[in-house]
């Protein structure tokens, strides 16, 4: 199936795969298509990167001190009721054979404390889910408007770098997805490969796993492919073109969503 011809379905499948809700045979078929089709692989990597960055930006939530106070109070009350119940058990004669023991106050109180604790935990979980959900919506609303995507692969067709372009922010985002690391005296340089023209430098890459480069839409529009070459430390001037080996390359795809 050519998922690239069905962009809405591709986005839904890629999002479900990244979230882990795509399971069984459907997940295996999607992963098989991702290995065979670059657009499917790009969509999967985009959603994985998007969710990973959201998790990194998610701030930790510290419970209110009152929550711990209520928990300690409930534990102390339950322990006190247990002690009272034990005292009454030792002081009260055993019931006759076949008679059903009447529930003592301690038992009812323990049940009440249990249900109150469950209700408090449920309320706390609801509050946390609401806060996290609100933050998730805000992050999705502010997510990059990715319009161009490229998966750059080595000569073994192994994905090594994911490149996306956000025209609103005029920014190229790059994420290393392979294990390649250049030497201390070398730099990786990103090149646009325009049709019928000389390669044009889009910037020298740092050593971080994820980085951003400023770019205009004209720098990437109508560019069919990108490449990354290994250059001397600091890169080379654009007019010289790549002087070292081209390590990764791939088609630049314009998204329809």
Q: Examine the domain organization and report whether 12 and 94 are in the same domain.
A: no
- Is residue 77 within 8 A of residue 71, CB to CB? The reply is no
Q: Examine the domain organization and report whether 86 and 104 are in the same domain.
A: yes
Q: Examine the domain organization and report whether 125 and 171 are in the same domain.
A: no
Domain that holds residue 247: 148-254
Q: How many domains does the chain have?
A: 3
What's the pTM value of the predicted model, to 2 decimals? Answer: 0.49
- From 89, 119, 141, the end of a domain falls on 141
Per-residue DSSP letters for 17-61? HHHT---HHHHHHHHHHHHH-HHHHHHHHHHHHHHHHHHHHPPP-
Q: Examine the domain organization and report whether 212 and 163 are in the same domain.
A: yes
CA–CA distance, 208 with 176 (Å, rounded to integer): 8
CA–CA distance, 141 with 94 (Å, rounded to integer): 67
Q: Examine the domain organization and report whether 159 and 125 are in the same domain.
A: no
Full pLDDT tens readout for the chain, 257 residues: 677 677 777 877 888 788 777 778 888 888 888 888 888 888 888 887 766 655 544 556 677 777 788 888 888 888 888 888 777 776 655 555 555 455 454 444 445 554 555 555 555 555 555 554 545 445 545 555 557 888 888 888 788 888 888 888 888 889 888 788 899 999 999 999 988 889 999 999 998 888 899 988 777 877 889 999 999 999 999 998 999 999 999 888 876 54
Tokens of 65: 């001190």
Q: Examine the domain organization and report whether 115 and 172 are in the same domain.
A: no
Q: Examine the domain organization and report whether 159 and 245 are in the same domain.
A: yes
- From 141, 156, 181, the end of a domain falls on 141
The position carrying tokens 């690239």 is: 4
Name the DSSP class of 150: E
Q: Examine the domain organization and report whether 25 and 113 are in the same domain.
A: no
Q: Examine the domain organization and report whether 185 and 249 are in the same domain.
A: yes
- For residue 69, how many other CB atoms are within 10 A of its CB? 10
CA nearest to 172, candidates 216, 213, 217: 213
Q: Examine the domain organization and report whether 127 and 195 are in the same domain.
A: no
Strands (E), 177-209: 186-193, 200-205
């Amino acid at each position: 199936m050519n998922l690239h011809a069905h962009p809405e379905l591709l986005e839904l499948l890629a999002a479900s795969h990244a979230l882990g809700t795509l399971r069984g045979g459907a997940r295996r078929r999607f992963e098989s298509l991702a290995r065979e089709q670059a657009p499917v692989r790009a969509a999967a990597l985009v959603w994985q990167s998007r969710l990973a960055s959201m998790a990194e930006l998610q701030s930790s939530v510290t419970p209110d001190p009152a929550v711990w106070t209520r928990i300690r109070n409930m534990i102390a009350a339950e322990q006190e009721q247990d002690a009272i119940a034990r005292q009454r058990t030792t002081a009260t004669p055993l019931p006759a054979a076949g008679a059903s023991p009447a529930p003592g106050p301690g038992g009812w109180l323990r049940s009440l404390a249990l249900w109150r604790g469950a209700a408090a935990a449920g309320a706390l979980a609801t509050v946390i889910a609401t806060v996290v959900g609100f933050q998730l919506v805000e992050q999705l609303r502010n997510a990059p408007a990715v319009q161009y995507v490229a998966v750059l692969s080595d000569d073994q067709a192994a994905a090594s770098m994911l490149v996306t372009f956000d025209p609103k922010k005029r920014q190229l985002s790059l994420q290393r997805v392979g294990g390649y690391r250049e030497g201390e005296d070398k730099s990786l340089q990103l090149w646009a490969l325009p049709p019928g023209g000389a390669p044009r430098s889009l910037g020298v890459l740092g050593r971080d796993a994820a980085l951003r480069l400023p770019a205009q839409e004209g720098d990437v529009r109508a560019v069919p492919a990108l490449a990354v070459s290994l250059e001397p430390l600091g890169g080379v001037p654009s007019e010289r073109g790549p002087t070292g080996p081209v390590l990764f390359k791939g088609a630049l795809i314009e998204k329809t969503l």
